Amino acid sequence: MSRAPGTVVVVGSVNVDQVVTVARHPRPGETLIGTGVEQLPGGKGANQAVAAARRGATTAMVGSVGRDAAADVATSLLASSGVDLTHLHAVDAPTGFAAVTVDADGENSIVVVPGANTATGAAVVTAAAPVVAGADVVVLQGEIPADGITAAAEAATGRVVLNLAPVIPLPRDVVLAADPLVVNEHEAALVLAQLDGDDPDRSPAAGDEADLVRSLLGHGVRSVVVTLGARGALVGGAHGAELITVPSPRVHAVDSSGAGDAFVGALAASLAAGADLAEAVRHAVRVGAYAVQHVGTQPSYPTLDDTLPGAVATAPIRGDT
């Protein structure tokens, strides 16, 4: 990025990922032989912090780990990427854990055990309120308690990027503080159901991405980014009522684990540096495309010295499309 770097604070989860490689995902009740296993740092919050730092943002992490050996693995790339860990707390619980299975096509399935992340509630976040308030961009996800997310949104004076994954119940004003709300199409439908009062008849089904974005904006969400995997992203709120599609560069995917977090971290870094939302999303899809070409989550994220896949053009979606 050509702009001066900004400050990003990520309030979220820190895990160890156990990544097992298989030819295909097992069916229920089936046993398969894996072709490899690794333990790597992970957690949506930590992933996004590493991604933001590697894209040039001055980044701090607010979260919790256990007093165990796994904490050293979980924080290794945070530390080496230059993320400020002053507000990362050690608690009497095991460090968060994720079991990740990756098949030959790069598709993954993930089971998360929160562990120490359940300690990142309102008290921990409130203790870090000054650093949260001082950030240009505050990044939040759904892997910590709702009261921790709420406390962070209330402390933020800069832009709030809410990647509500997984979707958990949050106060309406917290969701409406997002600028942008970043979700995939399935998460978008769940968030909309929350805002609609869980009335499924009022919410478009997943798959109607443009309608989902328009409905979320209609509820008062400031801006929305729906990630579409290899298809890129859909952006609403950046140019009035017009929606924008941002295609992803075509690449050969090796491992999609953490690609969404690479996207969010890069998006936050660009926004903190002063980019507008459409420009930030164009950058983020390229970072996500870079990440899927490499194995693992955090180890796959590009630094400013790495060459990203080719630039992409945006296209408007009209209201009658």
The C-alpha atoms of residue 284 and residue 242 are separated, in whole angstroms, by 20
Exposed e or buried b for every residue in 269-279, given b needs 16+ CB within 10 A? bbbbbebebbb
**C-alpha span between 173 and 270 (Å, rounded):** 25
Catalytic residue among 68, 173, 261, 305: 261
Q: What are phi and psi of 233, to 5 degrees?
A: -155, 160
**3-state DSSP assignment of residue 50:** helix
- Mark whether 261 is an active-site residue: yes
* Residue 27, both tokens: 């069916």
Is residue 306 within 8 A of residue 293, CB to CB? The reply is no
**Gap between the Cα atoms of 160 and 176, Å rounded:** 10
Residues 6+ apart with CB under 8 A from 172: 194, 195
What gap in Å lies between CA 151 and CA 305, rounded to an integer? 36
Which DSSP category does 27 fall into? P
**77 neighbors 45 (Cβ within 8 angstroms):** no
Contact 8, 59 (CB under 8 A): yes
Give the residue numbers annotated as catalytic, written as ranges: 261
